[in-house]
Structure 1
Amino acid sequence: MDLQISVFLLFILFTAGHSLSCYECSNPTGSCAGQTVKTCPIGSTQCTSSIIGIQVGGISSTGNNKSCAATCLSQSFNFGNVRMTISCCGIDLCNLQDVQDPAPNGKNCYYCDDKSCSNTVKCSGTEDRCITASVGQSVLKGCVSKSICDDTTSAGVGSGNVTCCEGNLCNGAQSVTQSFLFLCCSLLSYFMMH
Structure 2
Amino acid sequence: MPKSAYTLKCYECDSGSCINQEKVCPSQGQQCGALRVLSYAGDLKVSDINVKICALAEQCVEGSLNFGISRTIITSKCCTSDLCNTQPAPDASISIPNGRKCFKCDGQQCNATLMCKGDEDHCISTTVSFGGEKMIVKGCASSQMCASKQTAQITGSIGAEIDCCQGDYCNSASGTSAGLLLLVAPLISLVMFS
TM tier relative to shorter chain: 0.5 to 0.7
Selected match of 1:146 from 143, 148, 165: 143
CA distance in 2, matches of 1:61, 1:138: 23
Which of 68, 84, 100 is 2:73 aligned to? 84
Report matched runs for 1:76-115 at 5 Å: 76-80=63-67, 81-87=70-76, 89-92=78-81, 93-95=83-85, 96-104=87-95, 106=98, 107-112=100-105
Alignment of 1:45-194 (within 5 A): 45-56=30-41, 58=44, 60-73=46-59, 74-80=61-67, 81-87=70-76, 89-92=78-81, 93-95=83-85, 96-104=87-95, 106=98, 107-112=100-105, 116-117=109-110, 118=112, 120-125=114-119, 127-135=120-128, 137-151=134-148, 152-156=151-155, 160=160, 162-173=162-173
How far did residue 114 of structure 1 move?
5.7
The answer for unaligned runs of 5 or more in structure 2 is 175-194
The residue that corresponds to 1:21 in the other structure is 9
- Identical columns (%): 27
**Which structure has more RCO (C-alpha within 8 Å, separation ≥ 6)?**
2
More strand by share: 2
Q: Which runs of 5+ in 1 are unaligned?
A: 1-8, 175-194
Give the alignment's TM-score, normalised by structure 1: 0.60
Q: Report the secondary structure of 1:156's partner residue.
A: helix
**TM-score, length-scaled by structure 2:** 0.60
Q: CA deviation at 1:115?
A: 5.8
- Indicate how the Cα distance of structure 1 residues 162 and 78 shifts in structure 2: closer, same or farther if over 3 A, else same: closer
* Residue 41 of structure 1: how far off its partner (Å): 1.8
SS of equivalent residue, structure 1 residue 98: coil
Query: Contact 1:111/1:121 (CA < 8 Å) preserved in 2?
Result: no
Q: Is the 8 A contact 2:101 2:113 kept in 1?
A: no
Letter in 2 for 1:45: Q
Q: Structure 1 residue 131: deviation in Å?
A: 0.7
The size of the alignment, in residue pairs, is 158
Q: Deviations over 1:88-112 (max 9, x none)?
A: 6341234333232134361454444
* Paired amino acid for 1:76: G
Could you give the per-residue CA deviations for residues 61-97 of structure 1, whole angstroms, max 9, x where no partner exists? 3221221134524242223414031536341234333
